Structure 1
């Protein structure tokens, strides 16, 4: 057939047959997102990778914590770039080919990183996990979004929340698994094993995924005949969307929300050990990372589903207002020596951080329509790239500056937390400025995707 040139990977081979259960699609997306969500557990590698030569204490030639922090940042930069430049390609080739490509890049990135650790060449780790793995992250992340929205036009927030919660939950599995693997086979061996396992499971997702036949609708559901104040039934072309004020407001909203959370995730294990020295062991810190991952995951489903009822704008208002208060409170919890309050604050913060990711695709759908939402979402994720650098840099380098200035490690994160609170205040203002897109940006016709 004309559209079957790609064989098993072609879009035509993924069209669902009559009677297909749409609830099979979220598990397919989860197979991918639970794997690529490992990125949020990368902080458990930082300390072991900084002691590859010295063992118990850093020795000459060992990698510094700030230099290791760039692995995660590079991965997030390439996540955003791959999502932005690959968005139109994903729309064209469909979810199966995209998921398979993501599996090869993400799994292969681990194998290259394992070689870098074995040879003790940090640039190879940057190339493997950062560049190749980051591209796999980006393509894997956006691969199911448009598909889920077409299967669940009646509940778009819930649908994307179901899948994207896997990205937040990936660290819940990866954190203890990575610690165990490093204890058995070392850092390089752990990278090797994870690369193989993740490739296999992501390919399972690629096998399961299906797209609906053209014109399919859920039984009993009809397309709204006109737009509401907050949800449009019109479509905005991806190239036109980036010319609108609303796109850049949402870009800023996502960037600031992510910056505030991603720096903490990137150094969560080290942070809790240093803020509560002698109280938190490395194993307990790994448990903290896993717990944050659980709330990150649950928040994606809870907040995205909630947004179907209270609206996306109102949901983001909660993220920014409550997040601002909690970030400002974290240093106080540290000074009080209250591990419970510290963990509780970050559990809520990370639920809203994850909720922001899961809610933004539905927010984009409401503002720009469903036709090009996958490609628009991909371009918006460049905000994640910027945040992936800004967040860890704020945490890592301000921490190091504070320590070099004689500040105790337990107090080295205070300034950073107040900066994060200020960023959320700016995000609150940007979200307040959101309005519907002007009709002049709506598509007059319905051209085929480029």
Structure 2
């Protein structure tokens, strides 16, 4: 059987996401709707909030379904719902109707469709994962930049109702074509010349981890919090873009074109930073982008009256925001594998959903409280700078420490709980040995944090031998996907994966404890 051209799913993913990305351009319809129905900006803006929240929520559900049923059914449902939402929005006669069609139905369709390209691309391109995922999610960021001006021109000529209908037909054709091209690679597929062992070692991960296991790791929650607050800084600025531009003295045309500049910047960040992260590392890329963002946000406020600098700095801020949406998706696949990447990244993407709600709310509240945008931009810059500090190399110069100072206290607490569990199960044990007993879940953690606990391995092994005697089997794995090397098996070991006959596999070191 001939393997399909692996670039065809990329084409399909970009087509799918460019159509779905028009949700970011929904503001194009706000002014004509407000003019016809007398609605306020606060009322019409709720459709974006509703839609973004549903995109993140349905991404989780769609990811779960896709991991079990394949990409095409999910992509078809997403494309149909998104197109239907736009078509029904043309019959809007009340605010609840607008929320239901453009917000709930279109947002649900976008959530279903958005999950597929990321998952499919990560499976076809383990060797170029950052670049390909960046291209696919870049299509989502570019959608509003491409179709926003088209929608604006159509509204002027045929009205907003006909524009919704025309776009719905265009999006239906694009999403159905994209769904047809999106398919998973054959089982056991590997690109020519790709060495999975070297790739896993570089990524510090690669094993397929179920969501139930993933959410029990401190790494996941550290990533989740970092993703949430990092994108909160971006959404604070992005949500206030048009009124900020007008307050800076720019015309309505300049403010409208700023949306296109932002879309170009976001799409560029998703593609270029994805490619860069393939070569310099995910966390290194995020570290640089967070620092650039922390510098660009206050500069954007300070130099807002200069049109050229306004556009340049705006594109830079959007570039950094788009970087996070691309690189975190690749990081999820690196750390937790591609088998369950749809559901796993969906859980991580909920952080962005929270940021999409909290960021605009925080930016608006700060503006109301202060009467200007200076404080809002400084707060956003401060958030970016804070997370840049967390991504700094450790004192030994290791550059791949996760950004997560909070993980260390979490691991200490986990070690204390595990020590109590050993005492409860085994009675009196030498306190000196107990003090060295750290069951640390290091799946997917970059090497520097894992290295802090490498000295515990031999002492942990000695303690397990004392507790379990001959039942201990030692698994010295070089695979970075399962870095905690001392394990105890309940049954006879069979197979290279180290599982026993009952399918049990230790995640935290000692399965007998």
Could you say whether these structures have the same fold, taking a TM-score greater than 0.5 normalized by the shorter chain as the test?
yes
User: Is residue 315 from structure 1 mapped to residue 291 from structure 2 by the alignment?
Assistant: no
2:152 aligned to 174, 179, 196, which one?
179
Q: Contact (CA 8 Å) 2:236, 2:363: kept in 1 or not? A: yes
Quote the residue 1:244 is aligned against.
Answer: 217
Quote the residue 1:413 is aligned against.
Answer: 373
Deviations 1:353-408 (A, max 9, x none): 11111111211122222222221101111112111111222334444555xxxx4x
Deviates more, 1:347-356 or 1:43-52: 43-52
SS in 2 for 1:224: helix
In the alignment, the residues of structure 2 paired with residue 179 and residue 399 of structure 1 have an alpha-carbon distance, to the nearest angstrom, of: 29
Change over 3 Å in CA distance of 1:267–1:109 after alignment to 2: farther
Deviations 1:337-357 (A, max 9, x none): 212222211111111111111
Shift of 1:30: 0.7
- Counterparts of 1:34-433 in structure 2, within 5 Å, are 34-53=18-37, 62-116=38-92, 119=93, 121-224=94-197, 227-228=200-201, 230-276=203-249, 279-280=250-251, 282-334=252-304, 337-400=305-368, 407=371, 412-431=372-391, 432-433=403-404
In the alignment, the residues of structure 2 paired with residue 194 and residue 251 of structure 1 have an alpha-carbon distance, to the nearest angstrom, of: 35
Q: Contact (CA 8 Å) 2:11, 2:178: kept in 1 or not? A: yes
SS in 1 for 2:7: helix
Change over 3 Å in CA distance of 1:114–1:148 after alignment to 2: same
Q: Contact (CA 8 Å) 1:84, 1:379: kept in 2 or not? A: yes
In the alignment, the residues of structure 1 paired with residue 358 and residue 63 of structure 2 have an alpha-carbon distance, to the nearest angstrom, of: 24
Shift of 1:185: 2.5
In the alignment, the residues of structure 2 paired with residue 208 and residue 226 of structure 1 have an alpha-carbon distance, to the nearest angstrom, of: 27
In the alignment, the residues of structure 2 paired with residue 293 and residue 135 of structure 1 have an alpha-carbon distance, to the nearest angstrom, of: 22
Q: Which has the higher contact order (CA 8 A, sep 6+)?
A: 1
SS in 2 for 1:211: coil
In the alignment, the residues of structure 2 paired with residue 125 and residue 401 of structure 1 have an alpha-carbon distance, to the nearest angstrom, of: 30
Change over 3 Å in CA distance of 1:362–1:18 after alignment to 2: same
Q: Contact (CA 8 Å) 1:43, 1:269: kept in 2 or not? A: no
Deviations 1:387-441 (A, max 9, x none): 1111222334444555xxxx4xxxx322221221122233335542278447489
Shift of 1:226: 8.2
Change over 3 Å in CA distance of 1:396–1:71 after alignment to 2: farther
Deviations 1:255-309 (A, max 9, x none): 2232222344344334323322xx42x3333222112111111111100100011
Shift of 1:64: 1.6
Shift of 1:316: 0.8
Q: Contact (CA 8 Å) 2:224, 2:351: kept in 1 or not? A: yes
Change over 3 Å in CA distance of 1:400–1:189 after alignment to 2: farther
RMSD: 2.4
Shift of 1:218: 1.2
Change over 3 Å in CA distance of 1:115–1:87 after alignment to 2: same
Change over 3 Å in CA distance of 1:298–1:367 after alignment to 2: same
Shift of 1:84: 1.4
SS in 2 for 1:202: helix
Shift of 1:103: 0.7
In the alignment, the residues of structure 1 paired with residue 484 and residue 22 of structure 2 have an alpha-carbon distance, to the nearest angstrom, of: 38
Shift of 1:39: 2.0
Q: Contact (CA 8 Å) 1:41, 1:175: kept in 2 or not? A: yes
Q: Contact (CA 8 Å) 1:44, 1:269: kept in 2 or not? A: no
In the alignment, the residues of structure 1 paired with residue 45 and residue 55 of structure 2 have an alpha-carbon distance, to the nearest angstrom, of: 16
Change over 3 Å in CA distance of 1:445–1:78 after alignment to 2: farther
Instruction: Name the count of aligned residue pairs.
Output: 407
- The two structures have a TM-score, normalised by structure 2, of 0.74
Change over 3 Å in CA distance of 1:199–1:47 after alignment to 2: same
- The two structures have a TM-score, normalised by structure 1, of 0.84
In the alignment, the residues of structure 1 paired with residue 277 and residue 199 of structure 2 have an alpha-carbon distance, to the nearest angstrom, of: 20
Please list every run of 5 or more consecutive structure 2 residues that lacks an aligned counterpart in the other structure.
392-402, 408-441, 451-481, 486-496, 504-513
Change over 3 Å in CA distance of 1:368–1:395 after alignment to 2: same
Please list every run of 5 or more consecutive structure 1 residues that lacks an aligned counterpart in the other structure.
1-16, 54-61
